[in-house]
Amino acid sequence: MTTQHSTTADPQHQRAASIAVPRVALVGVHGFGERHLANLSRLEQAGALELVAVADPNPPQSGTLDGRVAVFPDLDGLLAARPGVDVVILATPIQTHAPLAVTALQAGMDVYVEKPPVASLAQFEKVLAAARDNGRLVQVGFQSLGSHALPAISGLIDAGGIGTVLGISATGQWLRTKAYFKRSRWAGKRSLDGTDVVDGVATNALAHAVATALHVAGAHTLDDVASVETDLYRAHATESDDTSVIRVRTAGGATVLCALTLCAPEQLDPTVTVHGTLGDITLSYTQDEVVITTPEGERREQYGRTDLLENLLDARATGAPLLSPLQHTGAFTAVLEAVRTSPAPAAIDPGSISWEGAGDDAHPVVHGISDVIERAIKAQATFAELGVPWARAIPPVRTLTLDGHPVADYQDGSQIRAVSSPRPYLHPVRTLGGTVVTDHQPLDHVWHLGAGVALQDVDGVNFWGGRTYTRDAGAYVWRPDHGRISTTAIHQTDAGGGHGGRLQETLSWSGPSGSPVLLEERTWTWSGVAPSTWRLSLDFALSPAGDQPVSLGSPGSNGRFEGGYGGFFWRLPECREPAVWTPAGRGEQETHGSVTRWLAWSGTFDGGPATLVFVAPEGSTDPWFVRLEGYPGVGQSLAWDRPVIAEPGHPVRRHVTVFVADGILATADINALINHQGDPS
């Protein structure tokens, strides 16, 4: 469905008849200033304004302007000539915006300043004070904020059109050549001659994506922002970032995740998306097009846009509100300030970059950047948190080592988004040869977290993440039922001689309100077995946090056929030629739901061939949960088709052992390994 909305009204109609035609000056006539010249010509022909002066150290070409337009080398020269300017447009380098704006405001002019309006929070406060003290208006050139799509999106959200909002994202995948960063002295700079510039993908090139996403989230002023986190990288030989994640948490509790790059394989329209429990709303803000996606299908709507200069003139004449006033770019300025004060962007490993084109037309492409951006948006995670190979490494909370070599990292899960049920887990888990055999926050299920313990239904609380399967709906639905598993005590001991160790945890499983539902005692133990094999064992015991029984369930116990996942779960990364088998059968169909002593998984991972052998204790009746076709995962089902009850004083206990081996093991190798090691329980 396409709906064409009206374009901007006739400027003549917008102005009050008693107001004289405003006299306008443009400072900066090249680059984006050329677009302003074209717009000024349009509005002047409509009788909305009179262009009386321009200022630029590099004058416009002869014949560009009407002979009546005065030309000056700079704003000071323009002001000294006193041409009676009412409104000044600043289309100048970033570092000049604030001082020029203050000068114009103090001279009694209203200001239209290009984005970003300032290069620091201190400058923002200074310009804001100058506007207030002189009673003048400042409009910021975030043209997307003039889109008629924005109030329409707000109305749709308020009407519950996509259910409860889960988060807001902005994506931008552009490409920029070497020439782009040679166009001026300030391009690609964080500072120039000791003056802040803060050029970068989030603060300049794709600043509209950030500003629009913040607007949709209702974050306008500085007070609307609770926190800003930055994760900045560069592939170009610049000071500024060109591939970054910005995560903003608003005072209202929303999360805005901006994943942006100038190193994409092709230029795509940037978008802002509102993610809801019943669907998504995606705005292509350069096109003013909205796509609403729900289970009922997809519809498209096209909108018009109010020109921000026309809006400024209307505000002068009638007192109408500005669409992009300086004070409402406070939230964006909070982002800019976070970027300004962040450490310098990390250089992306050249091995993760391909250069396309030649000479000044060459541009870098970060390998797999489109998938990484999609994953970051879906998980509301930074590149570093996702463990992207070229991103900064986040030190784990704990490390499991053998002979001085790390074999697993313990993550506390504190940065995991709320609807993925934050919880501790192991990732990456490695073979002794260094091959990684776990995955976390994968694109297909961003709530899958390495190796650990999770359940989807604990007295109605989801400690698994994602949608919840309910018997009433007969389907997975989003519910505000996500819990959090937090460590209350942790103790690690070394077996000595580099032979392994033990990690003991006390954990609290808390519901959405923060009240504990379960208490858990969890123990990881690890030891070497052979030059190419090591052993990891997990014991956990779940007890009610109160004096009442607690039901431990799964989608399977709620009616999902063979959907009995929950308890111990190991998410594997993608591998080539995967094979899964038990003593009784091979493949997902024959192993899923089976009850056998062991289950093996082998394949060729990014680091090489490896085999995992999952061993249940003697007498275990928990079926294996296996996924091979849709995604690679193995679990030991605690509640296959009916819930298990944890009684006060009688915890639910489970145990599993995993042998992690380099190379491809055969069944005979597995039997010999288990027999040699004895009963893992």
Instruction: Write the burial class of residue 676 (CB in 10 Å: 0-12 exposed, 13-18 middle, 19+ buried).
Output: exposed
pLDDT of res. 497: 74
Q: What is the band of 16 on the pLDDT scale with cuts at 50, 70, 90?
A: very low
Name residue 367's amino acid: H
Q: What pLDDT digit, counting tens, does each position of 271-304 carry?
A: 999 999 999 999 999 999 999 999 999 999 999 9
In angstroms, the CA 573 to CA 118 distance is: 44
CA separation, residue 435 to residues 438, 543, 633 (Å)? 9, 36, 17
Q: Quick check: 521 pLDDT over 60?
A: yes
pLDDT of res. 617: 95
Block residue for tokens 């506007």: 131
Q: Quick check: 7 pLDDT over 80?
A: no
CATH fold, domain 412-677, is Beta-galactosidase; Chain A, domain 5 (2.70.98)
- Annotate 595-652 with DSSP letters as a single string: --SEEEEEEEETTEEEEEEEEPPTT--PPEEEESSSS-EEEEESSSSS-EEEBTTB-E
DSSP 352: G
pLDDT of res. 678: 62
In angstroms, the CA 544 to CA 557 distance is: 19
Name residue 394's amino acid: I
From the list 31, 32, 22, the residue with the least C-alpha distance to 53 is 22
Q: Quick check: 671 pLDDT over 70?
A: yes
What is the value of pTM for the model shown? 0.93
CA separation, residue 82 to residues 69, 86, 88 (Å)? 13, 11, 13
Contact (CB, 8 A) for 636 and 622: yes
Q: Can you read off the two tokens belonging to residue 452?
A: 């650990």
- Collect all residues with Cβ–Cβ distance below 8 Å to 592 and sequence separation of at least 6: 562, 623, 624, 625, 626, 627
In angstroms, the CA 447 to CA 434 distance is: 25
pLDDT of res. 15: 38
In angstroms, the CA 657 to CA 681 distance is: 8
Q: Quick check: 3 pLDDT over 70?
A: no
Q: Percent of the chain scored above 70 by pLDDT?
A: 97
- Collect all residues with Cβ–Cβ distance below 8 Å to 571 and sequence separation of at least 6: 438, 439, 440, 442, 445, 448, 449, 450, 451, 631, 632, 633
Domain with CATH 3.30.360.10 in the chain: 148-304+339-384
In angstroms, the CA 76 to CA 67 distance is: 21
Q: Can you read off the two tokens belonging to residue 285?
A: 């803000």
Q: Can you read off the two tokens belonging to residue 332?
A: 């964006």
In angstroms, the CA 486 to CA 489 distance is: 9
Alpha-helix residue ranges (DSSP H) falling in 344-458: 369-379, 383-386
* Superfamily of structural domain 11-144: NAD(P)-binding Rossmann-like Domain (3.40.50.720)
C-alpha 533, offset from chain centre? 37
Q: Can you read off the two tokens belonging to residue 559?
A: 């009616």
H or E segment to which residue 14 belongs? helix 11-14
In angstroms, the CA 402 to CA 461 distance is: 37
CA separation, residue 259 to residues 24, 171, 361, 461 (Å)? 37, 5, 24, 31
In angstroms, the CA 336 to CA 124 distance is: 11
In angstroms, the CA 621 to CA 245 distance is: 45
Q: Can you read off the two tokens belonging to residue 265?
A: 């394989």
Q: What pLDDT digit, counting tens, does each position of 652-665 carry?
A: 999 999 999 999 99
Domain 148-304+339-384 sits in CATH 3.30.460.40 = no
H or E segment to which residue 22 belongs? none
In angstroms, the CA 379 to CA 375 distance is: 6
Q: What pLDDT digit, counting tens, does each position of 538-582 carry?
A: 999 999 999 999 999 999 999 999 999 999 999 999 999 999 999
Cα separation of the two ends of the chain: 61
H or E segment to which residue 97 belongs? helix 97-106
Q: What pLDDT digit, counting tens, does each position of 329-365 carry?
A: 999 999 999 999 999 999 999 999 999 999 999 999 9
Q: What is the band of 11 on the pLDDT scale with cuts at 50, 70, 90?
A: very low
pLDDT of res. 67: 86
pLDDT of res. 9: 43
> Average pLDDT of 68-77?
95
Q: What pLDDT digit, counting tens, does each position of 421-477 carry?
A: 999 999 999 999 999 999 999 999 999 999 999 999 999 999 999 999 999 999 999
> Average pLDDT of 141-145?
98
Domain with CATH 2.70.98 in the chain: 412-677
Of 17 and 324, the one with more pLDDT: 324
In angstroms, the CA 48 to CA 70 distance is: 19
Q: What pLDDT digit, counting tens, does each position of 473-496 carry?
A: 999 999 999 999 999 999 999 887
In angstroms, the CA 58 to CA 62 distance is: 12
Task: Label residue 363 left, alpha or beta by phi (over 0 means left) and psi (-120 to 50 means alpha).
Answer: beta
Q: What pLDDT digit, counting tens, does each position of 218-228 carry?
A: 999 999 999 99
Contact (CB, 8 A) for 273 and 283: yes
In angstroms, the CA 426 to CA 399 distance is: 9
Contact (CB, 8 A) for 98 and 123: yes
Q: What pLDDT digit, counting tens, does each position of 579-630 carry?
A: 999 999 999 999 999 999 999 999 999 999 999 999 999 999 999 999 999 9
pLDDT of res. 63: 82
Contact (CB, 8 A) for 554 and 548: no
Q: Can you read off the two tokens belonging to residue 272?
A: 């802002």
pLDDT of res. 676: 82
pLDDT of res. 174: 98
